[in-house]
Structures are given as structure tokens and as C-alpha cells.
């Protein structure tokens, strides 16, 4: 009885129900953790790997990284690293010893244990767009500051689509909520509208502690249960070049001390905050990530860490950031090789510079998502909904991206390249011979419902049928789907007692003033 209650409180077994409910609007692929068995695309030879490693190590040994966090400086000093003011230099032996303690994979278990993720191995998992300050949709038709309602709608898409595995940062920044209590309201929305893995921004101790507490409450967990296995994660960026800010490191230390996971993703734009050469930008990114991971491993050996890449290039003409470029793809692939060299799970992204969900948006996003596949990426951030270099979130783009994510999932299924006798199908070929067709034969009848990927958004009608159907271009189709999904959305089950406890926590923390806003 206690077990059954605990199971119910954790929302066990409800992923399937939620997926079934969703079938009202579209038929989508079931929830699963896709496995990427393709051999990665590896532009670097052994010498290239050695050069990047040596470059990263020499940056850490000779140039050093600034840590604007006194606690981190103390720890590095205690570990025998050379600390001068805020500058830390460390030997490669120390870095490699510490990085060697990090697990090559770990799990993340959200309130619904059916949504548990494995970060690492050959898994490739996708998360929603995170942190754009602005929103755009076909109905509004212009860029507007994000709101709680838009954020909630994008969270509903995050929950609705089975190809989205984790809830990243806020899918749009709800600037109508005061910054002091924003994390409380959005986390309440995230935890009640979704049952997938949660993220905390490392923006001050109060926020980080609040989010951990809310995730604990939502999971119906004791403090011991919460800390026993990773339930959530934070993702930090370094302040490139070669600097880690206080709240980012503080947030990570808080999480790892409670057994939660961290991802370190330097944002190294080649030509701006990193060298104009891609290998230089990657070397710098590796150095920035590895020194933080070394710190965390020294503090808590074996704590779950992933290495992130966000290396892209600028527009040579304007200095504006560019995304999904050829150089971005190569940087992602190179970082993939290095992540395997260091034995760390890899995070990359789905990105574009386009301002609207048009052809450019999709070639840039396709480039970045295929680079994620080719690099052996384990966590794909911003995989759905990102526009304007991350400054805009769009529900139409979200849905268009999910169509592509499903295609990638299907592409990775070994069924697409199976070569057993049933697949070679010699007898079917013999049966049809030199005339006739394969539509009606038993071999086809037995397989046609599952043989091929079935898109939910691509329109495969011929031109005349498409025209008769209103001649609707892709973003308009996505917009209609968005309205229907939101209109029929049902949140995942949550025990009323847990919901009450969460509400009470939010109310109490709001009454206390939330978090300081002087970060």
C-alpha cells in the first residue's frame, strides 16, 4: 500500500497515458531514448586530437582561467593548483586525474520515473529551446517580450512531444514575472505541466536551492531520496574568454553536493570571445569546461558532469553570431571526438540565426541537428523552438523541429538498415517478377503500417491536393497544430497533496521575497 502510494505519488506509468491522450491531435512516435549507433564523423586524426588536447592543457597550465568565486579559489589552492588573485593555473596531470573520476554516463530521474534518462553511452536526447527573452508566432507576427502564458504554452509542447526528453531552461523568459519570484512561478508551471527532467539556472543560491526543493517536493521524495541519485541538472556557461563567474560555479557546487548533475558549456564564438580559427575556439572551450569539471570532481569525485559545446562563428561583415554554419558543424564534431577522449558525455545544440521559421531556419537547424548526430552528442539543447540565435522562441519552429527530431529518431532505428532474409526479400522480388508491383503482396501487407516513418507535419500530398487543401505552407500548418495541441492539452497526473505542497512552498517563498535580483 505504501509502495503503491509512493508509486502513484511519483506519477509512475503515466507517460504512456499522456502519450495516448496526445493522439487526439497528431500521431507521433512513442516516448523512448534514441540510441545512436552510427560511427561518429571524425574530422580529427590522432595528431589533431593530440593538438587540441595539448592546446587545452597549455591554456590551463600557462595562461590560466579566472574563477570569480572565492570558494572555488580556496578549493583549487587546497588541491595544489597555482592561484594568483582570481587566476588559476593547473597542471594537466591534475586535470586529467580529476576528469578521469567523472562517470562516462549517468541517469537523471524526474518525478515520473518512466521519464528517466541516461546521459551518455550511445543515447541522443533532446530538450526544448531555453532562455530566449522574446517570443514570435504566426498570429502575433512580430517579436514580443516573453510572458508566463507563452512560456507555459511552450512547456505544454515540451510535455506533449515524445521526442522531447528533458525540459531545459525557461523555453521563453517570462518577463511579465518579477525576477525575484520568476523561478518560483515558472518552476511551478514546469513541474505541473511536465513530468520530464528539470533544469535549474545557476543564478544565485536562493534560486538553486528553491528549484532543488521544488523538484524534491514534486517527486514526493525525502531529502535522502533526492540526493541518492541525480534528479535534475544545471547548465552553466563560462564567461569566455577564460573566466567562470560566481553564481555559475556556486550553483554547480550546490548541485553536486546534493548529488545532482552539471553541464559546463562554454560559449566560444570564434572571432569574438575565442580565436578566429575553429580549432582555437574549440581548444579554448575545452579548457574552460575541463577546469570547472576538474573542480567539481575534486569536490565530489564521481559526480555527474557533461561537457557542452557552443562553439560557433561570427558574421565576418557585422560581427553578429552565426549558427548552424559549416564551421559550427566541424566544431561540434571535433568537440565530440574530444569528449570521447576525455570520457565525458557531450551536450550540443539545435541552432539557427534565422528570424522566422522559413527555409533558412530549417537548413541551419538541420545542419546543427545532424552535427549533433555526427558528433555523438548525448544531450541536444535548444532542439526545438529556437530562432534568431536564441533571442526568439517560436511555437511553430518548435513543432517544425519536432518533425525533424522524429525523423532523426527514426533514422537511428536499426530497422531502417536491417539486412536479414526478410529484409532482402528475395521471395517477394521473385513473386512480383518483372511486372506488377509490390503494393498488394503479403510481404508488403505484413509490414506497410510500420515500414516507413510517418510524418505529422510534412505534407506529402501532390501539388493539386495540397492546393485543394488550402495551399498551406509549413509554418502555417505548424501554427494550426500548435493551437490544437494547446487547446486539448492535459497536464500529466500529479497527486493533489504534492500539488498543494508545491503551492504552499511557492507562496511561502514569495512571502519571503523570493530571490535577490542584484545578480
Residues 179-238 that bind a second copy (CB under 8 A): none
The window from 6-14, 169-177, 309-317, 488-496 that contacts a second copy (CB under 8 A) reads 309-317
Region 85-104 residues binding a second copy, contact defined as CB under 8 A: 87
CB 87 → a second copy: shortest distance, Å? 7
Region 264-283 residues binding a second copy, contact defined as CB under 8 A: 270-280, 283
Q: What binding mask, one character per residue, do residues 6-45 give for a second copy by CB under 8 A, x or -?
A: --------------------------------xx-xxxx-
Residue 487 in the binding site for a second copy (CB under 8 A): no
CB 12 → a second copy: shortest distance, Å? 32
Region 442-461 residues binding a second copy, contact defined as CB under 8 A: 443-444, 447-449, 451-454, 457-461
CB 385 → a second copy: shortest distance, Å? 13
| Choice from 31, 188, 411, 456 touching a second copy (CB under 8 A) | 411
- CB atoms inside a 10 Å sphere around CB 148: 17
CB 160 → a second copy: shortest distance, Å? 19
b/e per residue 473-483 (b: at least 16 CB within 10 A): ebbebbbbbbe
Cα angle: 98, vertex 104, 107; to 5 degrees: 115
Region 117-156 residues binding a second copy, contact defined as CB under 8 A: 134, 136, 142-143
Cell matching residue 226: 533526492
Structural Rg of the chain based on CA atoms: 24
CB 78 → a second copy: shortest distance, Å? 22
The window from 10-18, 203-211, 245-253, 328-336 that contacts a second copy (CB under 8 A) reads 328-336
The window from 115-123, 157-165, 171-179, 362-370 that contacts a second copy (CB under 8 A) reads 362-370
Residue 66 in the binding site for a second copy (CB under 8 A): yes
CB 44 → a second copy: shortest distance, Å? 6
Q: Report how many residues bind a second copy under the rule CB under 8 A.
A: 128
| Choice from 418, 468, 497, 504 touching a second copy (CB under 8 A) | 418
Q: Which is nearer to a second copy, 179 or 425 (CB)?
A: 425
What is the C-alpha to C-alpha distance for residues 465 and 406, in angstroms, rounded to an integer? 25
What is the C-alpha to C-alpha distance for residues 162 and 150, in angstroms, rounded to an integer? 20
Residue 497 in the binding site for a second copy (CB under 8 A): no
Region 235-254 residues binding a second copy, contact defined as CB under 8 A: 241-243
Which residues, 6 or more positions from 483, have their beta carbon under 8 angstroms from its beta carbon?
A: none
Residue 330 in the binding site for a second copy (CB under 8 A): yes
Sheet holding 232-236, edge to edge: 125-128, 379-384, 346-349, 305-308, 261-264, 232-236, 198-200
What is the C-alpha to C-alpha distance for residues 379 and 385, in angstroms, rounded to an integer? 16
What is the C-alpha to C-alpha distance for residues 304 and 76, in angstroms, rounded to an integer? 19
- CB atoms inside a 10 Å sphere around CB 104: 14
b/e per residue 208-235 (b: at least 16 CB within 10 A): bbbbbbbbbbbbbbeeeebbeebbbbbb
The window from 104-112, 165-173, 365-373, 486-494 that contacts a second copy (CB under 8 A) reads 365-373
Cell matching residue 217: 517536493
What is the C-alpha to C-alpha distance for residues 41 and 61, in angstroms, rounded to an integer? 30
Residue 364 in the binding site for a second copy (CB under 8 A): yes
Amino acid at each position: 500500500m505504501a509502495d503503491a502510494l509512493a508509486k502513484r505519488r511519483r506519477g509512475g506509468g503515466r507517460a504512456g497515458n499522456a502519450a495516448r491522450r496526445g493522439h487526439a491531435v497528431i500521431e507521433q512516435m512513442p516516448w523512448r531514448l534514441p540510441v545512436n549507433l552510427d560511427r561518429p564523423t571524425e574530422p580529427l586524426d590522432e595528431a589533431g586530437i593530440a593538438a587540441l588536447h595539448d592546446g587545452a592543457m597549455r591554456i590551463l597550465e600557462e595562461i590560466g582561467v579566472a574563477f570569480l568565486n572565492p570558494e572555488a579559489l580556496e578549493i583549487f589552492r587546497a588541491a595544489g593548483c597555482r592561484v594568483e588573485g582570481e587566476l588559476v593555473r593547473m597542471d594537466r596531470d591534475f586535470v586529467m586525474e580529476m576528469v578521469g573520476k567523472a562517470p562516462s554516463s549517468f541517469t537523471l530521474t524526474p518525478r515520473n520515473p518512466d521519464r528517466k534518462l541516461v546521459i551518455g553511452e550511445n543515447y541522443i536526447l533532446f530538450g526544448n529551446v531555453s532562455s530566449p527573452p522574446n517570443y514570435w508566432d504566426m498570429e502575433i507576427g512580430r517579436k514580443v517580450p516573453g510572458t508566463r502564458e507563452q512560456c507555459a504554452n511552450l512547456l505544454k509542447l515540451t510535455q506533449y512531444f515524445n521526442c522531447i526528453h528533458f525540459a531545459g531552461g525557461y523555453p521563453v523568459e517570462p518577463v511579465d514575472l518579477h525576477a525575484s519570484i520568476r523561478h518560483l512561478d515558472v518552476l511551478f508551471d514546469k513541474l505541473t505541466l511536465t513530468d520530464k527532467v528539470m533544469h535549474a539556472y545557476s543564478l544565485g543560491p536562493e534560486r538553486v536551492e528553491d528549484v532543488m526543493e521544488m523538484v524534491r517536493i514534486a517527486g514526493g521524495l525525502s531529502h535522502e531520496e533526492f540526493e541518492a541519485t541525480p534528479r535534475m541538472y544545471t547548465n552553466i556557461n563560462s564567461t569566455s574568454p577564460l573566466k567562470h563567474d560566481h553564481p555559475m560555479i556556486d550553483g554547480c557546487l550546490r548541485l553536486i553536493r546534493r548529488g545532482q548533475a552539471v553541464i559546463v558549456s562554454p560559449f566560444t564564438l570564434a572571432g569574438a570571445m575565442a580565436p578566429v580559427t575553429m580549432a582555437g575556439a574549440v581548444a579554448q572551450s575545452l579548457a574552460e569546461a575541463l577546469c570547472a569539471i576538474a573542480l567539481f570532481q575534486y569536490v565530489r569525485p564521481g559526480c555527474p558532469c557533461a561537457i557542452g559545446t557552443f562553439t560557433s562563428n561570427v558574421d565576418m561583415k557585422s560581427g553578429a553570431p552565426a549558427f548552424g554554419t559549416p564551421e559550427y558543424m566541424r566544431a561540434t564534431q571535433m568537440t565530440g571526438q574530444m569528449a570521447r577522449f576525455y570520457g565525458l558525455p557531450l551536450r550540443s545544440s539545435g541552432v539557427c540565426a534565422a528570424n522566422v521559421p522559413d527555409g533558412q531556419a530549417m537548413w541551419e537547424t538541420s545542419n546543427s541537428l545532424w552535427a549533433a548526430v555526427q558528433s555523438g552528442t548525448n544531450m541536444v539543447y535548444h532542439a526545438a523552438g529556437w530562432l534568431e540565435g536564441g533571442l526568439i522562441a517560436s511555437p511553430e519552429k518548435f513543432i517544425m523541429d519536432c518533425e525533424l527530431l522524429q525523423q532523426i529518431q527514426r533514422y537511428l532505428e536499426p530497422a531502417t538498415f536491417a539486412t536479414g532474409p526478410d529484409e532482402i526479400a528475395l521471395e517477394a522480388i521473385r513473386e512480383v517478377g518483372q511486372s506488377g508491383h509490390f503494393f498488394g503482396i503479403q510481404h508488403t501487407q505484413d509490414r506497410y503500417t510500420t515500414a516507413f516513418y510517418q510524418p505529422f507535419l510534412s505534407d506529402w500530398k501532390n501539388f493539386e491536393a495540397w492546393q485543394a487543401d488550402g495551399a498551406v505552407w509549413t509554418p502555417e500548418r505548424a501554427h494550426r497544430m500548435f493551437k490544437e495541441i494547446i487547446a486539448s492539452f492535459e497536464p500529466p497526473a500529479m497527486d493533489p497533496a504534492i500539488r498543494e505542497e508545491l503551492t504552499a512552498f511557492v507562496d511561502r517563498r514569495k512571502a519571503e521575497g523570493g530571490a535577490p535580483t542584484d545578480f
